[in-house]
């Protein structure tokens, strides 16, 4: 099915391309606002601006173009996330030039003609980050280990003398605050409550960044009561 869909897209792209003019980014950005012709622009995705609006930056040797909104002609109802466009992908898009709010020169409501997956498709989400989350100056895994030590140092022994290990998940939010603290695997109620209390009182982290935007990251830690 995937192969058939790809063939449909390429066939459609070939038919459209035969009837349309291809421009460089620089040439496209020089178009008049009154030009209603659709043009083809090819380039590499340099940054995803928003997965909600489907906007991203397409770069070639002449410059960078903001593409605001894009659809797959073979499946117009497919949302941007399902198009699986990530930074480093090579694309050909068809669209019209517009100036938004009197200053932003962009391609609006583009049509995806073809896509070649770039090397970042082979990376994990954490590897794609521009910046790893950090806790007290330590990034990534080192930051998580530093946080685990901070949690252990601030635990209070329950009055009932219970011992055991509690697995806690939490989210480092876009503002660096620890949110959505959950018990993934509990022990005694007193231990669960204490683990929740301490993790929830975490100092702020430095949040992760992807394509220049702060993003949420979910972690899990083991909280040990001996």
- The CATH number given to 128-225 is 3.30.1150
CB contact at 8 A, 203 and 175: no
> What is the predicted pLDDT for the residue at 217?
95
Q: How many CB atoms lie within 10 A of CB 143?
A: 20
Say whether pLDDT at 112 is over 70. yes
4-8, 85-89, 159-163: range with lowest mean pLDDT: 4-8
> What is the predicted pLDDT for the residue at 146?
96
The CATH homologous superfamily of the domain defined by 2-122: Bacterial OB-fold (2.40.50.200)
Quote the mean pLDDT of the chain. 89
pLDDT > 70 fraction of the chain, expressed in percent and rounded: 92
pLDDT > 90 fraction of the chain, expressed in percent and rounded: 70
Rounded Cα–Cα distance for residues 117 and 202 (Å): 39
The domains of the chain are located at: 2-122, 128-225
Nearby residues of 24 by Cβ (< 8 Å), 6 or more positions away: 41, 60, 61, 62, 63
Say whether pLDDT at 5 is over 50. no
* pTM of model > 0.85: no
Query: Comparing 2-122 with 128-225, is the CATH topology the same?
Result: no
184-216: per-residue pLDDT in tens?
998 999 999 999 999 999 999 999 999 888 999
| Residue among 22, 8, 30, 91 at smallest CA distance from 56 | 91
Beta bridge mates, 208:
215
121-164: per-residue pLDDT in tens?
999 988 989 999 999 999 989 999 999 999 999 999 888 989 99
Say whether pLDDT at 78 is over 90. no
CB contact at 8 A, 127 and 140: no
7-41: per-residue pLDDT in tens?
444 555 555 455 589 999 999 999 998 999 999 99
pLDDT bucket at 166, cuts 50 / 70 / 90 = very high
């Amino acid at each position: 099915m995937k192969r058939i869909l790809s063939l449909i897209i390429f066939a459609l792209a070939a038919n459209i391309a035969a009837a349309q003019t291809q421009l460089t980014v620089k040439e496209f950005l020089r178009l008049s606002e009154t030009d209603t012709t659709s043009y083809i622009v090819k380039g590499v995705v340099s940054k995803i601006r928003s997965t909600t609006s489907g906007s991203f930056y397409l770069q070639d040797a002449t410059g960078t173009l903001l593409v605001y909104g894009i659809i797959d002609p073979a499946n117009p109802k497919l949302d941007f996330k399902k198009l699986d466009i990530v930074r480093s992908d090579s694309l050909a898009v068809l669209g019209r030039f517009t100036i938004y709010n009197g200053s932003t020169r962009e391609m609006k409501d583009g049509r995806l003609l073809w896509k070649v997956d770039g090397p970042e498709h082979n990376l994990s989400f954490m590897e794609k980050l521009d910046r790893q989350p950090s806790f007290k100056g330590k990034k990534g895994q080192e930051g998580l280990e530093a946080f685990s030590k901070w949690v252990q140092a601030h635990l209070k022994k329950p009055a009932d003398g219970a011992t055991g290990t509690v697995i806690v998940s939490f989210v480092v939010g876009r503002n660096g605050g620890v949110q959505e603290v959950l018990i993934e695997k509990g022990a005694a109620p007193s231990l669960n409550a204490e683990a929740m209390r301490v993790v929830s009182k975490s100092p702020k982290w430095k949040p992760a960044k992807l394509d220049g935007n702060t993003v949420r990251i979910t972690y899990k830690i083991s909280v040990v009561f001996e």
